[in-house]
Amino acid sequence: MEGFHFHWQQSLDKALQAIELTGLVDNPLAEMLANLWAGSAIEAMGGDEKVLRQHSDASLAAAERLHDRVWLPLVLGIRSNFHSALGEWQTAREFSDRGLALAPRQPNVLSFRIMLEYQVGDLEQGEIHLDRLIEVVREADRGSFATHLMAMVIPLVGRISGASDRFDIVEEAAEAVLSSPSATPFVAARARIGLALIAIQRADTAAASEQYAWLQVYRQPQPEFSTDRLLGLLSQTMGKLSQAMSHFEEGLAFCRKGGYRPELAWTCCDYADMLLGRKAEGDRSKAASLLDEALTISSELGMRPLMERVLSRREILKA
């Protein structure tokens, strides 16, 4: 419950106590969940990658001892997302393949695989998995676990591809999540992120202000999509550029500390966009430096959509 309410230090403290207790009994489910939440807390607080990997390994080992098709695919999906956040695409794909083989319709596995495919530019495969996720949501109860994931994933990949044709689905899904009396901040945040990205793409100042107010309170850095970058984009949409700069800088620091290179590259590009639009003294040179870093990372990691975006921005700088 601490984790579902973004009380990460308290969540970590209790998870570590639970891990200690699991040494006294043979309870792989408790062991898996305790290590899963410990890893989530460390990740959210920008903790040590080595310790994070240890909890991830322990969680996966416990899930494998369960021999079921519920918890193991979930953990495999989360492990896939962890490697994607580091730009380790092949390892992420291997864990994702294992998860999909066990549970082809597991929402977590599908969601993280969708984002992976879009990051590397395989939009056709991304669409196949996205259509499956939408199908899963339509067959589930209103406001289900799959619904809040879909509400976030569609706008996230839309940010990469520029597509907005499914935003009506997102708004309906987000409304279902946010109207649920059982929606914790952890769940509501996914719906809010989706609505925030739609507001940014539509340049809707009022909607951006509404989502900023909520997300600023429940501000949770995420390796696959930094809340700091999102707050920067919302601030930019609201015309508050100094505020946007502060958020982008915090996003850069979080990503560099955690080694989250894909998100670092996207933050560099979005930050550069804001500076090129602001046109204050020194903005062009800083934007050029940020674009160089984004291009280096995206080229090394094979992030084709971002590479194309950065190259188009560099052409603007040359003009």
> What is the reported pLDDT for 142?
62
Distance between CA atoms of residues 310 and 291, nearest Å:
6
The whole-model pTM stands at 0.94
The residue among 216, 214, 205, 211 whose CA lies nearest residue 240 is 205
Q: Which residues, 6+ apart, have CB-to-CB distance to 312 below 8 Å?
A: none
> What is the reported pLDDT for 263?
96
User: Other C-beta atoms within 10 Å of 195: how many?
Assistant: 28
Written as six digits, the tokens of 89 are 């695409």
- The answer to whether residues 212 and 242 touch, using CB atoms and an 8 Å cutoff, is no
Give the Å distances, CA to CA, from 142 to 37, 166, 315: 26, 18, 46
Every domain of the chain and the residues it spans: 243-319
> What is the reported pLDDT for 143?
55
Q: 151-160: per-residue pLDDT in tens?
A: 999 999 999 9
Res. 69: pLDDT tops 70: yes
- The answer to whether residues 155 and 115 touch, using CB atoms and an 8 Å cutoff, is no
> What is the reported pLDDT for 244?
98
Written as six digits, the tokens of 226 are 């930094």
Res. 49: pLDDT tops 90: no
**Look-up: residue for tokens 């309870």?**
27
When pLDDT is cut at 50, 70 and 90, the band that residue 144 belongs to is low
Q: 282-316: per-residue pLDDT in tens?
A: 999 999 999 999 999 999 999 999 999 999 998 88
